[in-house]
Structure 1
Amino acid sequence: MSLFGKRRRPDPRGPGELLSQFTDLDGIPLTTPPLDQADGDDDERGRRGRRERVNRATAARQGHREPGRGWAPVDAARRAPVYRATTAEVGGLFPLLASNGVPAIGARLGYDTQSGGAFYVHPTEWVLRKMVTNPNLAIFGEPGRGKSSTVLATILRLSLFGVRTLISGDVKGEYTPLLRALDITPIALGRGSPHRLNALDLGPIRAHWPTWSPARQREELTGILARWTRLLTALAEAQGYPPTVTDELVLSTVLNRLVGAEHGSDELRPITIPQVVAQLADPDDDLWQQTRFASYRQFVDHTRKITDALSNLVVGPLAGLFDEPTNFDLDWDAPVQSMDLSLLRSRGDQAVAVALTCLGSWSSMITDLQDDGDVRLVVRDEVWRQMRLGLRAVQAVDSDLRLSRAERKIQLLVMHKPSDLLSVGAAGSQEVSIAKDLLALCSTRILLGQSTRVGDELAEELGLSDREQAVLTGWAMEGQGRALWKLENSPGMKIQTVLSATERSIFDTDSGLRESTGDQPSTGGRPRLVAVPPAPSSTGDSSVNSEPVPDPARVNGTAARW
């Protein structure tokens, strides 16, 4: 037995006692407010020497009767007691949530499910604020996870901030409903379409040529000829023939002669691929001598393979699409422009890939020379199809991504999974190495729901943490529009894209399935986006409740001429 008797164990301090010891910002203990009648018994026990209650509320049930101090006009009987403390002290009891750090500038796309705050998208502003190093985006997602809806919502909402979009090859026709809702008719290429696109089109350079100085003319022409040469060599490589350095020199010389800039002409001549093929098949004496061949026969024998490869574009599945003069004009004031290739799917993957390559080269040149100062979003859907054509096709995409900042462009690559980039060539080839590096040229990665196997691939390629990988294969698979947004090496953000009722009907990629089953009643077509709804008629006319009469067809934002 202890000499001093049994030692009594002190009672532990409860939360009320701890909270009562908080002080205000000046370090002065908070005064205890007068107790109400309900606590009279506690006062008596306190005066008799018993322990006094310390976890008393510092505010009445209706709050402090002062402006801005939480007073309510009704009795909030179930309201929790109000305590005052500094944030350093309260942080130990309730961890305050912080925002994701993305500024509230640009298009509001949805909300951050972790902080509850709104999520805004504007890639060029992110570059200016040093949040990312380039404005390019890459989006991955399984079919049905909301990939197309996320892209379409980004396109539509960024248009309100002056960002114009060019869809460089709509393989499945998914963007056509949005254009029709905006009263824009997409340019369709393929079976039954009257549109023709010259892959070697001069575009705006022909109109600007007389106004430029000789030095500017040489600079612009050098760039155009280099772009055309890369295009033709990539198309030849797609036919199974790898062009040589001599082939590139011959093509550059032929293009320079055909365009009329060889002797400092004041006007450029439009050229087409059949003209290039004709020059290669039957060169004149000046051509084979200028390219340092010993004879006419040596020139023809050396260029026979590349001539045959380019001839397939004139007589093959793509005959008539890219070998005639362009017969349409783009409306650069329209918010969105699209090249619909859905009619080409019946001609095979090779035809679609060649069309994507031609459109990529043509759209890059057209937008480069459009001196309107606008930022443009270039959507490359299923870009892996184009890169499968060979090394030069991969290099063309790589070049466009590297020049995006200088050319005021936002490149958006749309893919299903990272293995799409690995399918562009043999394992360990130069094509695969360049394709894998394309992800480093896209600072913003949008990762929608994926299976466990694909999630492992993305984690390896992008360096995702275990928690981020679990988001892809778990949370993002539980609903459409859920994505992990990663801005370079910053922690991923769980973003839920939110669509309006009108957007959901326009962006519905499953509408074809519903129409084929006949389960859904007809709604008279997709809704159209209008700036201001028309005022209701005051005449009581019965036509007020009828279906709206569509406007005349518009071709690229301008009224069609019949």
Structure 2
Amino acid sequence: MARSAFVFEPGDLDRNGRRALRREVAAASRNGSPTPSTRRERALPEPAVAGAFGPGIAEGGYWNLGAAVVPAHQATSQHIAGIYPFVADAGLGHAGPIVGVDLNADALWHFSPWDAYADTSDRGTFSTNVLVLGAYRSGKSATVKTLVTRSIAFGHCAVVPSDAKGEWVAVAEAIPGGTVIRLGGGTTARLNPLDRGPRRTSATDEQHEQMVKQRRIATLISLVQMALGGTRLTAVEHAAIHDALHRCITATRDMPTLRGVYEQLGIIVADQAGDFRLAEAAVQPRFVLRRFVDGDLSGLFEDESTVSFDEQAPIVVVDTSELFARGDLVAQLTQVCTTAWIQAVVSDRSARRTRYVIREEGWRDMTSLASLQMYQQWLKLSRHYGISNIVILHKMGDLDAVGEADSQERNLAYSIVGDIENKFIFRSNHQEQQALGQRLNMPAPHVEMARQLRKGEFIAYVGQYSYLVDCFSTSTPWEFDLFQTDDALSPGAPDDPFTSGELDSLWPEVTEPAQGRAAADADLDGWLNTMKEMS
């Protein structure tokens, strides 16, 4: 800061004297020498000893006029954020794994849905679920994989009920202890969606039985309605399915299967002495379940499970990529069955585990009123079971496949998605502007920003606050190779920071198989330790 000079002109100087004094002051200023002053001839004597208030102020004395020096302003980031709210941001803190960089605060951005839920400040949230929305090739999958994989180092687990593209298989195989369950493609693995699941120690016998019964009947109703194109079942058809399920439970000693329910529906249809209305209502559900017993879905879900869910595994992936190639309806039926089987296992509060449940193509779980109601109930109970559902959608228009326009099903689907408090919004298309504003209540500047986001960047809504985050899922070559989803994330793509040659030089252990599995495991252990230290 420039020093200011104070010049005093004696009152008895004439005009020529004042001019001479001013010329002398101007010349001294240009030469950088001390400014002369005639005040010394008339000023009081300088204090001999400096006072407690500084070198120029005497104890009980007077001010010694001199240069004014103002120190620079210093404050904490909390106070600076109040002065410059769009430049300095306090962020979410340092709880949870590092996901990326907060572009507004120029700081690392950490996120954990459980830590955000436990936060009692105004930056906390009331839900552990996350909506991930963005166009193709916007970096959604890589970001979710980054969050989930790094969260394993913090003790969290993950499960993918239906991996339609097979992209999570590589993640599960790379993580020590990860489990992959493959369906179709010549495998003999079967999942029974009517499994009872583990006993909840915190529930009474009556509560436990009621929850198991509701989950089983909801699964059956969802399968039948979905196969019938979303047609709602009548009260008599509901009664027929309830009756068949009850008979199957009794006949199998509480080990019902889709094959057993199919056979009991056949008995109801052939019962000439029974209620003819119930016999007629059992025909449609029986034809639907026939697909699982003798049709294109046979050998997958109709009998008892041949595989078990490893509750100790850090990540469990159900690979359904072979089945999704058979069409949308097969994909939807498959996703209902696998999700019901997973929910029967992970909805155990007494296990004291926190899990991510990644729902790829989340709209497939919401294609009928029964599945929507089951989906909504599952999202509401996520906090109770320590679960964070990650619902991934390409666009809000995906929900237009649910029911007719202005129908109860479609409105409920939009309501479910809109109620998810934590949202990661990636690059969106121009057609999504209206839907983002109306369905998700995004401000107009944020909607416009969403159209201009680069790959890997997203707007994160956590509770009442929003953040602009750039996910660096390729911070190490190991992650780069692991999180690539398709050709958009393959080495050498135009937007990628590394080429295949650079990866070879940076980390030959990953790109050269000859290094062996031991080297890869050692690198993974080192990476997990590094993530813990960084956080």
TM range (shorter): 0.7 to 0.9
Partner of 1:166: 159
Q: CA deviation at 1:39?
A: 8.4
Q: By percentage of residues, which structure has more helix?
A: 2
Partner of 1:379: 358
Residue identity in the other structure for 2:207: E
CA distance in 1, matches of 2:105, 2:351: 39
Residue identity in the other structure for 2:398: D
Q: Say if 1:304 and 1:83 are closer, same or farther in 2 by CA, change over 3 A.
A: same
Structure 2: where are the runs of 5+ without partners? 7-27, 40-68, 494-498, 520-535
Residue identity in the other structure for 2:380: R
Residue identity in the other structure for 1:321: L
* Structure 1 residues 448-479: Cα deviation after superposition (integer angstroms, max 9, x where no partner): 111222234212322222321232112x13xx
Conserved 8 A contact 1:181-1:529: no
TM-score, with length taken from structure 1: 0.72
Aligned to 2:145, which of 128, 152, 159? 152
Conserved 8 A contact 1:225-1:256: no
Secondary structure class of the residue paired with 2:248: helix
Residue identity in the other structure for 1:216: T
Q: CA deviation at 1:380?
A: 0.6
* Structure 1 residues 302-351: Cα deviation after superposition (integer angstroms, max 9, x where no partner): 31122222222222221111102111122211111111111112211110
Secondary structure class of the residue paired with 2:153: helix
Partner of 1:105: 95
Aligned to 1:269, which of 254, 262, 275? 254
Alignment of 1:292-307 (within 5 A): 295=274, 297-307=276-286
Q: Say if 1:270 and 1:100 are closer, same or farther in 2 by CA, change over 3 A.
A: same
Partner of 1:502: 478
Partner of 2:306: 327
Secondary structure class of the residue paired with 1:406: helix
Residue identity in the other structure for 2:472: V
Say whether 1:117 aligns with 2:74: no
CA distance in 1, matches of 2:133, 2:286: 38
Conserved 8 A contact 2:148-2:158: yes
Please tell me the root mean square deviation across aligned C-alpha atoms, in Å: 3.7
Residue identity in the other structure for 1:482: E
Secondary structure class of the residue paired with 2:458: strand
Secondary structure class of the residue paired with 2:93: coil
Aligned to 2:460, which of 485, 505, 509? 485
* Structure 1 residues 174-194: Cα deviation after superposition (integer angstroms, max 9, x where no partner): 111111111434111122122
Aligned residues: 448
Alignment of 1:88-487 (within 5 A): 95=84, 97-130=87-120, 131-183=124-176, 184-205=178-199, 216-240=204-228, 241-260=231-250, 268-283=253-268, 295=274, 297-369=276-348, 371-388=350-367, 390-474=368-452, 476-477=453-454, 480-487=455-462
Partner of 1:84: 71
Q: CA deviation at 1:145?
A: 1.2
CA distance in 2, matches of 1:528, 1:387: 45
Q: Say if 1:487 and 1:41 are closer, same or farther in 2 by CA, change over 3 A.
A: same
Q: CA deviation at 1:283?
A: 3.8
* Structure 1 residues 106-163: Cα deviation after superposition (integer angstroms, max 9, x where no partner): 1111111111121111111212224211111000111211100100011111112221
Aligned to 1:547, which of 506, 515, 522? 515
Conserved 8 A contact 2:138-2:426: yes
* Structure 1 residues 68-107: Cα deviation after superposition (integer angstroms, max 9, x where no partner): xxxxxxxxxxxxxx9514459x989x95843244121011
Q: Say if 1:128 and 1:300 are closer, same or farther in 2 by CA, change over 3 A.
A: same
Residue identity in the other structure for 2:457: R
Conserved 8 A contact 1:187-1:340: yes
Conserved 8 A contact 1:189-1:344: yes
Residue identity in the other structure for 1:455: Q
CA distance in 2, matches of 1:362, 1:44: 87
Determine what percentage of the aligned residue pairs are the same residue: 23
Q: CA deviation at 1:273?
A: 0.6
Q: Say if 1:529 and 1:105 are closer, same or farther in 2 by CA, change over 3 A.
A: farther
Residue identity in the other structure for 1:227: R
